[in-house]
Amino acid sequence: MRKKILVTHTLPGERIHALSELADVNVWLGPGLMPADSLREELAGCHGLVCLLTDQVSRELIEASPDLTFVSSMSVGVDHVDVSALNARGIPLGHTPGVLVETTADTAFALLLAAARRISEADCFVRQGAWRRENRWSPDFFTGKDVSGATLGVLGLGAIGQAVARRAAAFGMRVLAWNRSPREVPGVTAVSLEELLAESDFLSVHLALTDETRGLLGAGRIAAMKPGAVLVNTARGGIVDEHALAEALGQGQLYAAGIDVFEEEPVPADNPLLALPNVVLAPHIGSATAATRARMADMAANNAIAALNGEAMPHCFNPEVYRDRG
């Protein structure tokens, strides 16, 4: 009997077409993202799921899908998946590390520069005709904060954090970093979390969202940041307390922020960050270049193809499930 696979979105790349040679593939064609109840209904009887970071693969969904033998997510982060529920069933989870590192580091640095130099505010000012209306230019007109010569704090020194550190070095920045398990990286000074917060003019978040990192940058740690610092988050929204951040930005304790990821996505209209001119906002586009997204889709497809062929996924988040099978 041919296996059944559910793919929750049309995907770019080449490899996704190879899936239909191995299984009956049901692709959600929209409109928009696959709703949770459709995901549950369509997953019934499927052997495999190829999903996005927007699909909540909860314990309940996994338990309601007795035929499921693999999940492949087109994302490096897997906080949308209940990994312990998969482990309990010995189900491998594929993800897409590595290929989005440079693209995401570019996004982090773009947000850092835009926040420091008030690029969104300036864009609105010109676009909305205020420049012409006010006929204004003065020595303090749209003044921002210098990046070169400043100190960058990298919170989480994995591959993306290191790629951001390389960019910072090229901008003449001093680079500090904190990682849960200390790492030696040339040109980067490892410091305690307290030192990182106190000394960084720019703080860029590059941690995975886990039980340990959820809420890591709460009100207390935000208050401990260097006065006038800029916070950049391209990792996951749940790591930063958005209300505390908005308060610190509104009161001028922090200078600005560049935020690509939110606790709730799409971001609700009443999120306090949306009302602040000193926040550069983006809709979770850290890895969004056509080439990177195609590479991610190919990796997700390759993980699914390996699982369908009874092989270990080349990029498996929980490879212990293979060991446990003996």
Would you say 67 and 88 are in contact if contact means Cβ atoms under 8 Å apart?
Answer: no
Q: Write phi, then psi, for 16 (nearest 5 degrees).
A: -60, -30
Indicate the residue among 76 and 150 with the shorter CB distance to ligand DGY: 76
Site string for ligand DGY, 276-315 (x = CB under 6 A): ----------xx----------------------------
By CB under 6 A, tell whether 75 contacts ligand DGY: yes
Q: Which two tokens stand for residue 321?
A: 């499930």
Q: Which two tokens stand for residue 305?
A: 């193809």
Rg (CA), the chain: 22
Q: How, if at all, do strands 70-73 and 23-27 pair?
A: unpaired
Among 77, 153, 156, 237, binds ligand DGY (CB under 6 A): 77
Cβ-defined contacts of 62-65 (< 8 Å, 24+): 62/86, 62/89, 62/91, 64/40
User: Minimum CB separation from ligand DGY for residue 94, in Å?
Assistant: 12
Helix or strand (DSSP H, E) at 310:
none
Indicate the residue among 53 and 307 with the shorter CB distance to ligand DGY: 53
User: Minimum CB separation from ligand DGY for residue 83, in Å?
Assistant: 14
By CB under 6 A, tell whether 110 contacts ligand DGY: no
Tell me, by CB under 6 A, how many residues bind ligand DGY.
7
Stretch that binds ligand DGY, among 7-15, 72-80, 112-120, 185-193 (CB under 6 A): 72-80
Cβ-based burial of 239 (10 A; exposed 0-12, middle 13-18, buried ≥19): buried
Contacts of 40 (CB under 8 A, 6+ apart): 61, 64
Beta carbons within 10 angstroms of residue 34's beta carbon? 22
Beta carbons within 10 angstroms of residue 127's beta carbon? 9
Distance CA(184)–CA(37), nearest Å, equals 46
Indicate the residue among 108 and 114 with the shorter CB distance to ligand DGY: 108
Of 104, 91, 60, 97, the closest CA to residue 77 belongs to: 97
User: Minimum CB separation from ligand DGY for residue 269, in Å?
Assistant: 22
Distance CA(45)–CA(23), nearest Å, equals 13
By CB under 6 A, tell whether 258 contacts ligand DGY: no
User: Minimum CB separation from ligand DGY for residue 11, in Å?
Assistant: 13
Q: Kindly identify the residues of this chain, within the stretch 122-141, that bind ligand DGY according to CB under 6 A.
A: none
Beta carbons within 10 angstroms of residue 264's beta carbon? 10
Indicate the residue among 79 and 199 with the shorter CB distance to ligand DGY: 79
Indicate the residue among 54 and 278 with the shorter CB distance to ligand DGY: 54
Indicate the residue among 53 and 61 with the shorter CB distance to ligand DGY: 53
By CB under 6 A, tell whether 76 contacts ligand DGY: yes
Q: Kindly identify the residues of this chain, within the stretch 16-55, that bind ligand DGY according to CB under 6 A.
A: 53
Place of tokens 């960084």: 200
- Active site residue ranges: 236, 265, 284
By CB under 6 A, tell whether 65 contacts ligand DGY: no
Binding residues vs ligand DGY (CB under 6 A):
53, 75-77, 100, 286-287
